[in-house]
Amino acid sequence: MPVRLLLILLACALPVSAADPAKVLRVAFQNAESTFDPALYQDTYSAMVADNIFDSMLRYDYLARPAKLVPNTLERMPEVSSDAMTLTFRLKPGIRFTPHSAFKGKPRELVAADYAYSIQRFFDPRVKSPNLYLVEGKIEGLDEAAARARRDGRFDYDRAYAGLQVVDRYTLRVRLTRPDHTFVHLMAISQFGALAREVIEWHGDDAGSHPVGTGPFLLAHWRRAHKIVLEANPDFRDVRDDAGERLPKIGRVEIFVIEENQPRWLAFLNGEHDLIQWLPPEFINAVAPDGRLAPYLARRGIAMHQEIQPRTGYTYFNLEDAMVGGHEPQQVALRRAVSLAYNQPEEIRLVRRGQAIAAQGPIPPGVSGYDPQLRSATVEFNPSKAKALLDMFGFVDRDGDGYRERPDGSPLALELASRTDSEARTFNELWKRSMDEVGVRIAFRPMPWPDLLKESLANRLQMWSLSWSALIPDGDIYMQMFYGPNSGKSNDARFRLDRYDRLYEASRAMPHSRERDRLYQDMTKLILAYAPWVLHVHHKSTHLVHPWVKNYVKHPFVSTQWRHLDIDVEARARLAGK
């Protein structure tokens, strides 16, 4: 064969990136990332980056509503047995990891064993994955493997497991311990993106700083808690949008960590950033004073997208903490009283600027199990009832300083962990006013976001306010946050109640149905009764996009759209800053 023809054929066989290096997307994060190790991160911002580096087997269709799962690295949707206990995943051949020294200069193909390895890492005690709750107790043989590893000091990644079978190079079969109709949804979240074992072993404990995947972007630069740069993966496989165009289209994503709301908003307004997700509520009256985009923004071609997020804001009590924990009547009464005293309407009106609805239970709108009719007396704002409850159970002011003591006469002192930005300070002021109203002393423990995560996992926080966004459109993702075996993982409150656990275990075996939704509602009643959380709000979110950004659509369960976006470079040069 002539050399010229051979070169042409080889060139045609190689992937041709559609990404244009001149097209740069600039965005901001409110909070710093933690790590890019899928087994370790739990925060939204790390997940947003990792979702563009690693490939899960499934994804959500970008445009379909209601949310619809579609194959990502699979040839087709997984085969699920009639008893919902066996799932077979068949990968597309020819998908490659981005280059790394661990591959010794050779192309490294994505294979079924990579997904098996990635799942096994959750069970490795040395990894200490806080995400183990997602698969713990679900896959045959892996909990026993974790127990052996704790005994022997080493997890055996090379052993054959009945629940995780690499049938051939491209086929993975998962055998569950019980029917689980939500398991398939987990295979669409970034925590289950494929890792290459060689890379993890190459970097050891620092693997989260060196993410290597098969996704549309790769990590090009990272200055912790300051700036992250992603560049388009030049070897990304041929993936096309509904118009038949190759993805990704942009060549670079620049992410800036800006905790304070004002500079983040000004950077967008000045055209320095291309979009702003989750507009800070303090600016909503300037952006949409009557629910419609303000004329000064509309004239600039800025588009507004609004939604009620599948997200719940809450403050958890650590039920292992001597001050606020326990199931004794007086302790339950204390937590209920704090919930009644917290001024939820003021949060919605003043802090959220109306960009929220009151949460009556943990499950948000748009997620199965949400009950729009639920109204609970335990989450109403009622300081008088809070005072009466505290008085009834012996939390009274004995020394006349205006603050109550515990029934045994010892000090009653709440401590709320918080971020360090101005928004967090506003919430702390609201908490202080609410607790002062009922004579409960509260102090605050501010620290950076990554430190909050570490302290929470280490069981060193008494209370912490945060929010949880649904990863999947099923209420299970919230109900598991109160499941006893998940204590210290997703169950930050370390809530343990046998009756709740039995209901949760029964719900996991059911397909989506009214009967399962009723179980979710029964579990919600127990949560409201024992009050491991102060329920805050379900968030209304506003997203703004400059006119040079094309194809932006907000998906309820996917935080980034970067692989789908396009940038009109000429329009940006002409319009930015005007």
**1 pLDDT higher than 70:** no
The DSSP call for residue 74 is B
- Compute the average pLDDT of residues 103-108: 97
Strand-pair category, 356-358 with 533-545: antiparallel
**What are residue 253's DSSP bridge partners?**
25, 230
* Mean pLDDT value across the chain: 94
What number is the average pLDDT over the span 215-240?
97
Instruction: In whole angstroms, give the CA distance from residue 63 to residue 327.
Output: 46
Chain centroid offset of residue 31 CA: 13
Phi, psi of 245 (to 5 degrees): -95, 145
Predicted confidence band of residue 534 (pLDDT cuts 50, 70, 90): very high
In this prediction, residues 209-230 reach a mean pLDDT of: 97
pLDDT of residue 375: 84
Buried b (16+ CB within 10 A) or exposed e, 200-237: bebbeeebbebbbbbbbbbbeebeebeebbbbbbebbb
Q: What pLDDT, on a 0 to 100 scale, did the predictor assign at position 450?
A: 86
- Residue boundaries of the structural domains of the chain: 54-204, 310-539
* pLDDT given at position 576: 82
Q: Check: CB of residue 317 under 8 Å from CB of residue 531.
A: yes
Is 93 a residue whose pLDDT tops 70? yes
Binning pLDDT at 50, 70 and 90, where does residue 378 land? Answer: confident
Answer yes or no: are the C-beta atoms of 168 and 112 closer than 8 Å: yes
User: How far is Cα 347 from Cα 356, in angstroms, rounded to an integer?
Assistant: 9
pLDDT digits (tens, 9 = 90+) for 241-261: 999 999 999 999 999 999 999
The pLDDT, as a whole number, for residue 124 is: 98
Predicted confidence at residue 14, as pLDDT, reads 45
Residue 339 confidence class, pLDDT cut points 50, 70, 90: very high
Q: 365, 355, 362: which is closest to 543 by C-alpha?
A: 355
pLDDT at 449: 87
Burial class (CB in 10 A: 0-12, 13-18, 19+), 267: middle
User: Among candidates 338, 517, 348, which has minimal Cα distance to 438?
Assistant: 338
Q: Both tokens of residue 92?
A: 């597309």
CA atoms within 13 A on the CB side of 29: 25
Mean pLDDT, rounded, for 88-96: 98
For tokens 């409850």, the residue is 389
448-455 mean pLDDT? 91
pLDDT on residue 578: 64
In the predicted model, what is the mean pLDDT of residues 423-446? Answer: 97
Q: How far apart are CA 404 and CA 441, in angstroms?
A: 7
pLDDT for res 577: 64
Percentage of the chain surpassing pLDDT 90? 90
- Please identify which residue in the block is written with the tokens 């179980």: 519
Mapped to the 3 state alphabet, what secondary structure does 99-132 carry? CCHHHCCCCCECCHHHHHHHHHHHHCCCCCCCCH
The residue among 80, 36, 93, 89 whose CA lies nearest residue 58 is 89
Q: How far, in Å, CA of 11 to CA of 494, rounded? A: 57
Rounded percentage of the chain residues whose pLDDT exceeds 70: 97
SS3 for 219? strand
β-sheet bridge partners, residue 161:
164
- Confidence grade of residue 16 (pLDDT, cut at 50, 70, 90): low
Q: Of 289, 296, 271, 266, which is closest to residue 546 (Cα–Cα)?
A: 271
Mean pLDDT to the nearest integer, 547-570: 95
Question: What's the confidence (pLDDT) of residue 4?
Answer: 41
- pLDDT tens-digit series, residues 139-188: 999 999 999 999 999 999 999 999 999 999 999 999 999 999 899 999 99
Asked if residues 33 and 21 have their Cβ atoms less than 8 Å apart, the reply is: no
Return the pLDDT at 338: 98
- pLDDT at residue 11, as a whole number: 39
Residue 556 has pLDDT above 60, yes or no: yes
Q: What's the rounded mean pLDDT across residues 122-136? A: 95
Contact in structure between 213 and 131 (CB atoms under 8 Å): no
Whether the model clears a pTM of 0.85, i.e. scores above it, the answer is: yes
CATH architecture of structural domain 310-539: Roll (3.10)
pLDDT of the residue at 224: 95
Is 133:481 a contact under the CB 8 Å cutoff? no
| Residues 27-44 pLDDT 10s | 999 999 999 999 999 899
Q: Are 124 and 146 in contact (CB under 8 A)?
A: yes
CA distance 204 to 215: 22
- For the stretch 478-502, pLDDT in tens is 999 999 999 988 999 999 999 999 9
* Residue 218 tokens, joined: 């790769």
Helix (H, G, I), strand (E, B) or coil at 221: strand
Helix (H) or strand (E) holding 468: strand 463-469
3-state secondary structure of 433: helix
Task: Give CA–CA dist 530/333, Å, rounded.
Answer: 9
**In the predicted model, is pLDDT for residue 401 greater than 90?**
yes
Considering only CA atoms, which of 239, 232, 244 is closest in space to residue 53?
A: 232
Q: What phi and psi, each to the nearest 5 degrees, are found at residue 173?
A: -115, 125
Overall average pLDDT of the 43-72 stretch? 96
CATH, domain range 54-204? 3.90.76.10
Q: Is the pLDDT of residue 21 over 60?
A: yes
| Per-residue confidence (pLDDT) for residue 13, from 0 to 100 | 44
Reply yes or no: is the peptide bond before residue 248 cis, omega within 30 of 0.
yes
Angle (CA) 575-576-578 rounded to 5° is 70
Given a cut of 50, whether residue 12 has pLDDT beyond it is no
Beta strands in 289-410 (DSSP E): 303-317, 356-358
Res 9: pLDDT: 40
Nearest to 192 by CA among 116, 282, 141, 91: 116
Q: 13-51: string of b/e by CB count within 10 Å (b at 16+)?
A: eeeebbbbeebbbbbbbbbbbbbbbbbbbbbbbbbbbbb
For residues 342 and 431, is the Cβ–Cβ distance under 8 A? yes
